[in-house]
Amino acid sequence: MTNEEIRDFIQTAIAENRVMLFMKGTPEQPACGFSMRTSAALNALGVQYAALDILPDPRIRQELSAISNWPTIPQLFVDGELVGGCDIVTEMYESGELAQRVGVEQPQHEPEPPTAEAPQSAPLGVENRLS
């Protein structure tokens, strides 16, 4: 797969999935604490999202960061726009802004920080055709 094909694949994933998370590992098995916290925030909101593991090919991360102008993983996109990484997503979860941004109700039992447990909806996986 060429770098251009990887870039196209990433851009398509961002365009076609309203809530798109690029992470290390998967929502079920995150491979990094930052990715875990970010997917846990989405799980806690019960929003459906697509997730792509960037680890299988180092070029995924290179191309993604070139597109987003953002150096770290995870990266959350909503409606085609970069929302942020773990720090921003966690802050926005706690303030209720994330719920607003993705268009769901903020859970009532707050302000417990999200954990990786108890996802409320099965995350929608993007088939990883890059590996």
Closest distance of CB 37 from another protein, Å: 10
Q: What is the DSSP string of 104-122?
A: -PPPSS-SPPP-SS--SSP
Q: In terms of DSSP bridges, do strands 81-84 and 19-23 run parallel, antiparallel, or are they unpaired? A: unpaired
Of 35 and 123, nearer to another protein (C-beta) is: 35
Closest distance of CB 129 from another protein, Å: 24
Cβ–Cβ under 8 Å, residues 7 and 67: yes
Closest distance of CB 82 from another protein, Å: 6
Of 2 and 69, nearer to another protein (C-beta) is: 69
Closest distance of CB 10 from another protein, Å: 17
Of the candidates 55, 65, 64, 58, which has an alpha carbon nearest to the alpha carbon of residue 26?
55
Residues that bind another protein (CB under 8 A): 34, 61, 65, 69-72, 82-88, 91-92
Of 84 and 123, nearer to another protein (C-beta) is: 84
Of 102 and 123, nearer to another protein (C-beta) is: 102
46: left (phi over 0), alpha (psi -120 to 50) or beta: left
